[in-house]
Structure 1
Amino acid sequence: MTRSTTARSTNDTIIWTAHPSARLGNKMGEYAALYALAKLNGHQAYVLPQMQRELGNIFKISLPVLPQAVADSIKWKEYTLKDWMSPEYRNISGQYVKLFGTPCSWTFYHHIREEILREFSFHDSIKKEANSILERLKGPKVNVTYVGVHVRRGDYVKVMRDIRRGVVADKNYLQQAMDYFRWKYDNPFFLVTSNEMDWCKNNIDHSLGDVHFVGDGQEGSPARDFALLAHCNHTIMTIGTFGYWAAYLVGGETIYLTNFTLPDSPYLNIFKYSAAFLPEWIGIPADLSTLMQKGQ
């Protein structure tokens, strides 16, 4: 259970928190960075009620909750984080610090990975449901290797093309990634989740009978899809923090889409491939030919 607190702003109280924004994957990144940086600086971290509601309903997070009335009474020092760890974050000053930004990088917290994994332990009911679905899909087969596949599309299709000068994962990438696991493991079971399940069903070859379209695509209630991915043995991710965090929690082999923007993309000013993906993960370069043909 997440603890609550009656912390008040006194002359000697030091309070760190994070501004909650965006969806599940981003909030997990915000929480993990807050947890790690507050610990690094020797201060107590608190979560705001909104973050506790969304993450606490899924995970057994331990950071205490700062009542909204207390948070509203504090004059915060707003500190914006980059998407990766930077040396100056080891010495952040201020009595009341509120972190902004949506960092999603192992460089903040990988040195305390086991603690972060404990923070993102699923509630028992969610874990039980995910394991039940996996068992039902497996049926009588033995020695099954579950591979979670997250296909992020939706708004990202236009965002990547029109703003970031990049692409999302295509059918060829997914085929290559799946073929890797088919080559390496005898009985792979691919569990596909996405916010565009129709696209997946039309573009992922499921003729071998090892692909299962299990996602419900409900972005407003992502716990079920995320738990299914996180209870697999390995991960195929495309783009986005949702897939990243599933892979990070799983800890098995991860295949990810890399080099998915043109070299002059403005996105590369705020994003680093080396900070976004663990060194041992396997990157498959995106096909940028459609962007190059358009001269974008």
Structure 2
Amino acid sequence: ELEGMWTITPSGRFGNLMGQYATLFALARLNKKQAYIFPNMANSLSQIFKLTLPMLHQEAKAQVPWKNYHIADWMDEKYKNILGDYIKLSGYPSSWTFYHHIREEILREFSFHEYVTEKVNLYLTKITAQRQNVTFVGVHVRRGDYVYVMPKIWKGVIADRNYLEKAMAYFRNKYKDVIFIVTSNGLDWCRKNINASSGDVYFLGDGNESEPQTDFAILAHCNHTIMTIGTFGFWAAYLAGGDVIYLTNFTLPDSPFLKVFKYEAAFLPEWIGIAADLSPLLNQSLNV
């Protein structure tokens, strides 16, 4: 019998919420406690997923004698013995190190409602038309606030045109009939920088950041993934399950980002990292 009430404070956007959900699910299990989620987390995630964790009513939330407990971005032995019946976890955990040992269950939590899968399959069939045995590669290009935040605050870069070309070449060489589905919160940039002349690239949607569920569902239904940076891309790749190419070494060695981020905790060991080109940062520091 599970005791108590454990929850996690929802912070950030879709990918962060998935990471928080999975981490709460795994840590509550390890500590034999009953997990609950806040209504705003449930609202965002249950639009597309068949979640099983019960929702915490606002009334209960106000009356429970919570003990706040902050967790880092990767698993630590001490998290196996967190003391307290009423724990409210906080932080931005998303790392596979928390939950990968129960991967099957996490994938079940994040299984899609039938109506979502039907909608996605319809979309993908439209693209393939008469072609058989197409291999879909979902491409997530994280831009938005990162365009500014990464170089200015974290001494890092985000994916450039070269990285995407290398990643796409990998899949074109490995599979014979590949279609790339590009989603991004910077689609204009993608259209200018991704060469679509060979007819195997499709740009999806309008990059609406307030309703990312459709983009996410389509990426997760692809066979393989090219991700850039961020948890949204990570989760799409984790759910899709095929080959994954990700951007790695994207910060300078003295970046403050590395205090809260470990490459080996963020990406699965079997995934393929392509190192970022840091020259724009180096040139920038020379020009100062």
TM range (shorter): over 0.9
Q: Partner of 1:186 in structure 2?
A: 176
From 120, 123, 126, the equivalent of 1:133 is 123
From 93, 101, 104, the equivalent of 2:91 is 101
Moved over 4 A (4+): none
**Could you state the TM-score of these two structures normalised by the residue count of structure 1?**
0.95
Task: Say if 2:98 is the partner of 1:86.
Answer: no
From 240, 257, 270, the equivalent of 2:230 is 240
Q: How many residues align?
A: 285
Task: Say if 2:117 is the partner of 1:124.
Answer: no
From 116, 136, 143, the equivalent of 1:146 is 136
Q: Which consecutive unaligned segments of at least 5 residues does structure 1 have?
A: 1-11
Aligned-partner Cα distance in 2 for 1:223–1:128: 14
From 248, 257, 262, the equivalent of 1:267 is 257
Aligned-partner Cα distance in 1 for 2:249–2:205: 27
Aligned-partner Cα distance in 1 for 2:254–2:3: 46
Aligned-partner Cα distance in 2 for 1:104–1:262: 22
Aligned-partner Cα distance in 2 for 1:67–1:219: 27
SS of the equivalent of 1:147 reads strand
Q: Partner of 2:38 in structure 1?
A: 48
Of 255-264 and 120-129, deviating more is 120-129
CA shift, 1:295, in A, is 1.9
Aligned-partner Cα distance in 2 for 1:177–1:43: 42
Root mean square deviation of aligned Cα: 1.1
Task: Say if 2:256 is the partner of 1:280.
Answer: no
CA shift, 1:13, in A, is 5.6
Post-superposition Cα deviations, 1:133-157, rounded to whole Å, max 9, x if no partner, equal: 0011001111110000000001001
Q: Partner of 1:198 in structure 2?
A: 188
Preserved contact between residue 140 and residue 182 of structure 2 (Cα < 8 Å): yes
Post-superposition Cα deviations, 1:30-72, rounded to whole Å, max 9, x if no partner, equal: 0000000000011110111111111111100000111111111
Aligned-partner Cα distance in 2 for 1:255–1:34: 27
Post-superposition Cα deviations, 1:266-290, rounded to whole Å, max 9, x if no partner, equal: 1101100000000000000000001
Task: Say if 2:161 is the partner of 1:171.
Answer: yes
CA shift, 1:182, in A, is 0.3
CA shift, 1:292, in A, is 0.8
Post-superposition Cα deviations, 1:220-240, rounded to whole Å, max 9, x if no partner, equal: 111110011000000000011
Of 244-253 and 120-129, deviating more is 120-129
From 197, 210, 216, the equivalent of 1:207 is 197
Q: Which consecutive unaligned segments of at least 5 residues does structure 2 have?
A: none
Of 286-295 and 173-182, deviating more is 286-295
SS of the equivalent of 1:172 reads helix
Aligned-partner Cα distance in 1 for 2:53–2:145: 32
Task: Say if 2:281 is the partner of 1:291.
Answer: yes
Preserved contact between residue 216 and residue 225 of structure 1 (Cα < 8 Å): no
AA matched with 1:130: V
Q: Partner of 1:3 in structure 2?
A: none
Q: Partner of 1:6 in structure 2?
A: none
SS of the equivalent of 1:89 reads helix
Q: Partner of 2:220 in structure 1?
A: 230
Aligned-partner Cα distance in 1 for 2:126–2:33: 45
